[in-house]
Chain A
Amino acid sequence: MNRLISVVIGVLAFSLCAAIPVSAQGGYEVKGVVLDTYGPLVGVTVMEKGTSTGTSTGLDGDYSISVSGPDAIIELSCIGYAAQTFKASAVPAKVVLTEDTLFLEDAVAIGYGSQKKKEVTGSVASVRSEDFNSGVKTNPIGLLQGKVAGLNIIKTTSDPTSTGYDIQIRGFSTLDKGAGTQPLFIVDGVPVSNIDNISNDEIASMDVLKDGSAAAIYGTRGTNGVIIITTKRGGNFTNEAQTRMEYSGYVSASMRNGDIGMLSPEEFYNIESLSGGKIKPVLYESKDGEKYYTDWTGELTRKVAVTHSHNVAIVGSAQKFNYRASLNYKNAEGIAKNNNRNEIIAKLAASQKALDGWLDLQYDLSYMHYRNDFSNADWKMAAVLNPSYPVYDSSTASGYFYPQGTGEANPVELMNQKESYKDGNYFRGSVKATVNIKPVEGLKISAFGAVEEGDNHNFWYNRTVNSDVAGSGKAGRGSDFNFNKLFEITADYSRSFGKHSIASVAGFSYQNFFYDGQNIENKGFPTDDAKYFQIGNGDATKKYLNASSYRNSNTLAAFFVRANYNYADKYLLSASVRREGSSRFGANNKWGWFPAVSAGWRIAGEDFMQDQTWCNDLKLRLGFGVTGNNLGSDLRSVAMLSNGGTFWYNGQYVYTYGVSQNVNPDIRWEKKYEYNLGVDFAFLDNRLYGSLDMYFRQTRDLLWDYEVPPPPYQYSTLLANAGQMDSYGVELAVSGVPVKTKNWTWVTTPTISFNRNKITRLSDPSKGFNYKQTTSGGVGENGIMNTNTQILIEGSPVGEFYGYLFEGFKSDGTWMYATPAGGHVSSANAMESDRQVLGSAQPWFTFGWNNTVRYKNLDMTIFFRGVVGNKILNITRWAYGPQESTGANIFRKDSIGKNIVYSNKSNFSSYYLEDGSYLKLDNITVGYTFKFKENKYIENLRLYMTAQNLLTLTGYSGLDPEVNTTSVWNAGIDYSDFYPTVATVLFGVNISLF
């Protein structure tokens, strides 16, 4: 590393010494007005090209700028409009900018640089802040839900402390054993694993690199796709110092809006008549004969959960310096009592030009503090606990009622007798220094350094008086710390020669990750006040004092180069290669090559298209790229002695050490080979535009914990590369503008994506792995003994349910199954071999549909999303359906009737599978924007209201059909653990002052 740093310093020092100051020439005045079809345009950027000289238009669209001379090139640009350039001597007094719905000239982030949208040859979806989802989102990825075809984002809980989303780009490309499954996030150039610490209001755009040719520049971490997040920065450099203030905030209220379908307390009392006398409930009665009707889930929830968020930003600019400083505060209540998340984020972004155009500097700093309060609510218990039990019982030590049944506990007591929270801090800081080598036009050398620090601390305590004797009086605290360093050096060269232009970048990247943590717990404190504050004051014998700690680190290093070539905006070519090494892989296979190539043909730019009025843009793209997938854990390829516990030796206990895993020094990258064919189009005066992509991807050398025969192996699993997986799909994102008048606009944007997947090889007999199939989807619940409900078979897709095909009931209630051979068998006689594939947890397609209608300053957005054609395994129905022998539990409502069906605990059959298709009305937003043309202080003000998660159309009988479909091992399984779903109403305001 030291050598790296010295090289950088050397380069910087050289460039500073060689800097020759060039004196600025000014004095040529240009004035004018900028308009669009409806009137004057405010805030249009007016720049002298190749300099930092610039200004922006005022309230009447007017500007005046002093440039270097009559031959200076002046560019007028504004987001949403096609930019125009003129010679200073030839600028018309009135310039009319035309709306550019396609943003063809806008920059799209592609990793280590950007491209104009029209030049992009990979499959990249770019979403700008004005198109983000409205509503309460636990982290920025929620802003994209349903917006990008092929990007599957799932949220399975409304718990505000659970900030993550399940994210998958283009279906499965790894088997999720050892290798990672999350896409790579690049935040302002820094690859990060956590994006919680970014305020949603501070994001300018998110670019999703979907295909291999686009993602290959990130090599080893590109397989699951790359999402580049660009945050807002200071404005354009201006001759006069300017300051602006922005505020955006909202307050929201959430209420429960779903039901897992269990009997109400009243129905439970009447279960005997409801079930035609078949089930006799166990009813609790207190000694004085009082009856109770306890809604356990209701006891754990708030009536209304309130969230509010405030974001203040100061944006400033001067001739050679600009900045954006922001502060964000958010407090989100969960619908569960005691459940809360609180966060505060401070951020500063600054850019500076120095040394007469030789040096550009960019600084980014952000800091976050958060606190999660956990509810400790056991929802599953609440859902199934006998409603005739009371909550409180004055005869117990804690005052709570203690249920006596096996595995039963009072969830209100658990919630209130326990306390746990977690807080932490994130810091990220980076500096980028770019040296413009002025004698060589278009050559830049940049050095980029970033650090990330994170620390999390969790605290928990169970009060001494507690029905859970084993856990009573226990307290614990733990901390973890991570520190990541990134260093990159890149050289950029871009230049145009007549109709040819090239843009190239080469560089080196080094990233080191460091983790460290410790945990401590104790029990038997003298008073309940000791809690986690006085952890040493527990039980004097120290029998319950437990302490542990760990430290890990890993490193990635890479060299990369990319060149983009453009001929006359018609023929586009891009090629890149990355060579990357990871410390995590076997000594024999640390390094890998990740090449990519893609080409584009802008048909719309051809001469023969110039006469076509119906076609505004048409581009064909073809790409191929290889991406890798890093190992998700350290020290998997080496023999390592680790502590194996205590051993009685010579009358005392001593620690032992053992080798804890089978060793495989050949572990290497999973590699994904992907082909992508795409079309970008815009027709009919930009009233119909979008992209169509088709792809085929193949992951080779899948990492997996193979079961291996002992002997010769000591352990029965070995992490190795062997399997192979194929997938293909189609994605379509279209926007249509059916209405566009002076006062009215209606933009409708449907997206749809299809993905099919197949495991082409699960094993490698030459290495001793003889797999044709393996089971997954493990379920172990109330009376269901560890049953695998899914299967992975060579030649079949991931996520297939596997069990008995339910046929019907005999008159005596016997469960009948159809056998694969066409026969019939009763539940009691069913053999393992009678099982078959019962359907897929993977949807046929997923879709999103956004509609924006504008009338003057009033706007309305309605957004739907959904999936079609998948199966969900409803565990609650299986585990908490009625059983023949008991009336002790509460049951699901839909299984109680005249023809009561007893749940069959021993066999998994298609009876418990349901159609998982759904259509969700994700949000409706209505907003009004005030434009203050005459006001000296207020630039604009927008008020809006959003209703979120109002309606779900589905045949699924569980709480929410939005279940995890992205995990290889339990996709589509709706476990009986849950968190109540909510509907939310939100009022927001955005205001901009100057």
Chain B
Amino acid sequence: MKKTIYALAIALALPLFSSCEGMLDEKNYGNPTIEEMMTNPENVVLLVGQAYADLKWVHDHWGYWGVASLTSDECLCPVRLPREDWSDGGYWKNLNTHNWNSFAEAFKNIWNTTISGAVLCNKLLATISDYQASMTEKDYKMFVGELEVLRSYYYYLLFDCFGRIPYLEEFVDKTEELMEPEVVWSRLVACLERNAPNMTAVTDASRAASYGRVTQGFAYGLLARLYLNAESFGCTPDNIDKDVKAQFSLNSTADFYTNAVRCCDMVINSGSYAIEDDFFSNFKIYNEGSKENMFVIVENGNVEFDLRYNGSMSNKLRIIALTLTYPMKSTWNLVELPWNGFCARPSFIDRYAGTDVRGPGNEGKGTNNLKQWGWFVGPVYDAKGENILTYSEQGDNTTKAIITNSITSLDGARNCDGARLFKYEIDKSAQFSWAENDFVLMRYADILWMKEEAILRGGKGTSGASSADFRKMMARSFAYDDNSEEAYKSAYPDYLTLDGILDERGREFAWELVRRRDLIRFGKFNDPDYVQYVTGRNEYRKWFPIPYSVLEKSKRDENGNPYWTQNDGY
């Protein structure tokens, strides 16, 4: 009888066992495979396009933009009364006063997102190489160049913050000690120099196609930054890579600057870019038309999110929301309440001459002023433009909303303390989280100024200060005066000295991600005369600390010692 049972059980079980093959395969509804994407040449770009997604983090106040701006003189985020907005456990104050530690959220975000972007570039390079046979030689080289230059930018951002980073050009699990700054610098220069000549220069015909993507001009621009800042990164002709040194004749520090001039000239001579007549056309809601912007983060105001980066989605330009003050909602019937956070340090605003359009203006008309200025200081009127709005500062509703270029205290600023950045045009009918303005990552004006500075620092080359573009750049700063370079020169007579260039770069590139590195290059980063409110005056703070969580979770050798160690001083 037992045999009968066994026989029955086996007879039942056998067909069942054999039918299990494939039963547990996981079904994926609606998502393509890599094969499908790569074997159709039209689709390759859909895969490559994703490599730009992590750039969205760059202009986030919890990302690179936040720390780069707040630690320099161009930006401040005080605690706002009466509700202690932006107190956040002292997080913003620590950035403002240079007292950050390795736990700060932004450092982790920068580390994770730039590496996510760089590793994705490496992964896509490996994928493209696997499917090289299914695309043309020309397309293959184009994608390789684009991905390598984009990867260089991700690493540049990481390098600019931390100095010692894990720089990888392949998609492999190769964890070793963090590379020293001069090693990273050499590899970045080698990679960009290798790829830049093969990339296409932007022409009027190709401008739309290459918009928001890395190009030859951007590659040379990034090289110019690397050469100009070589010394501030700790590079000397003696410690950099020997091959790089030999190939680009980097025998003295002046040679760094000569190469910076060379790279700027590659951009200038390409004819791809021009200075816009109007300073503000670079920052309009629809600023796609600017011939001056060399690389931007593209925003699409018609969708709630553009590229999905690192698991998150809300990724529009937040500068406008961050800087406007609450009562401005009533002035313009804004859809969202602004966040009333970020403003300028008063010393920074003081460097603008009165009628400089990039500055706070001088007419005192506040929101009734019909002209656009780079910064806003003055009264905030009601929607009809008749009365200055009032708000509650302390138990009453009588405080007039007048933005001033002064800060009561870092721990208890008034609602309307500090100048607000107004150069990005405000779309008053849209939600801030849907901002359409493309965020400028590199501008032709920067190339022109970098070249002059490199020459002043000993680089060989011919000054471009008398070129038409350069003169236009100066003149447009006084567009509301008489739009002449004379007005500029009389306002800023020492504009062609090193100190003059530092001040001018502040005025021209406020909140455009260059200020922190400029201050470090000029040795002013810890200088409280320059960067107001700085108390943590330590030389080591020119590098940020490697994020605590990264060190904690990094790989260890067989003895349990971590491969990665903290930067000096932290």
Contacts and interface: CB of A to CB of B under 8 A. Distances in A.
B470 interface: no
A714 B174 contact: no
A885 B19 contact: no
Given A4-B19, A710-B112, A886-B81, A658 B298 contact: no
A7 B171 CA distance: 50
Among B123, B392, B562, chain A packs the most CB atoms within 10 A around the CB of B392
Given A710-B115, A887-B395, A583 B46 contact: no
Contact count band on A = 35 or more
Contact of B326 (A406, A443, A886): A406
Given A3-B19, A656-B307, A709 B553 contact: yes
Interface string B309-326: 011010000000000001
B327 to A, nearest CB: 9
B46 A785 contact: no
Contact of B82 (A3, A634, A656, A885): A885
Nearest to A907: B89
Interface stretch (A198-206, A554-562, A719-727): A554-562
Contacts of B101: 832
Interface string B161-191: 0000010100111110000000000000000
Interface in A517-552: 543, 546, 550-552
Interface string B20-62: 1001111111111110010000000111011011000000000
Contacts of B539: none
B529 interface: no
B215 to A, nearest CB: 14
A657 B47 contact: yes
Interface in A347-376: none
Given A590-B24, A657-B47, A905-B84, A709 B306 contact: no
B16 A4 contact: yes
Interface stretch (A26-34, A637-645, A909-917): A637-645
A557 B23 contact: yes
Interface string B94-114: 000000010101000001100
A653 B300 contact: yes
B305 interface: yes
Interface stretch (A608-616, A677-685, A764-772): A764-772
A507 to B, nearest CB: 9
A894 to B, nearest CB: 21
B560 interface: yes
Interface stretch (B3-11, B226-234, B499-507): B3-11
Given A710-B112, A770-B552, A3 B15 contact: yes
Contacts of B326: 406
Nearest to A884: B84
A394 to B, nearest CB: 19
A644 B311 CA distance: 10
B409 to A, nearest CB: 11
A648 B28 contact: no
Interface residues of B, number: 100
B119 interface: yes
A582 B172 CA distance: 30
B78 interface: no
Interface stretch (B204-212, B217-225, B253-261, B376-384): B204-212
B90 A906 contact: yes
B49 A647 contact: yes
Given A583-B24, A885-B84, A765 B560 contact: yes
Contacts of B112: 710, 715-716
Interface string B134-169: 000000000000000000000000000000001010
Given A1-B19, A440-B4, A443-B5, A469 B335 contact: yes
A886 B20 CA distance: 67
Interface string A568-601: 0000000000000111100000100000000000
Contact of A440 (B5, B24, B208): B5
Interface string A625-654: 000000000110111111111111111011
A707 B552 CA distance: 10
A783 B211 contact: no
Given A281-B395, A785-B88, A905-B87, A888 B119 contact: no
A647 B307 contact: yes
Contacts of A649: 45, 49, 209
Contacts of B27: 552-553, 583
A818 interface: no
A20 interface: no
Contacts of B31: 640-643, 657
Interface in B315-353: 326, 334-337, 340
A546 B303 CA distance: 9
Contacts of A280: 394-395
Interface string B512-534: 00000000000000000000000
Nearest to B43: A657
Contacts of B211: 648, 651
Contacts of B194: none
Interface string A882-913: 01011111000000000000000111000000
A50 interface: no
A813 to B, nearest CB: 16
Nearest to B118: A711
Q: What are the 10 closest A-B residue pairs judged by CB atoms, nearest first?
A: A647-B49, A658-B50, A785-B88, A712-B173, A656-B49, A710-B115, A551-B29, A651-B208, A648-B298, A906-B89
Given A641-B31, A648-B212, 5 more contacts: A470-B336, A543-B302, A581-B20, A635-B26, A644-B49
14 contacts: A4-B15, A405-B83, A646-B306, A648-B212, A656-B46, A658-B47, A707-B549, A710-B111, A712-B172, A714-B116, A770-B554, A771-B553, A883-B83, A885-B81
Interface of A: 1, 3-4, 7, 11, 280-283, 404-406, 440, 443, 445, 469-470, 489, 491, 493, 506, 508, 510, 543, 546, 550-555, 557, 559, 581-584, 590, 634-635, 637-651, 653-660, 706-716, 765, 768-771, 783-787, 832, 883, 885-889, 905-907
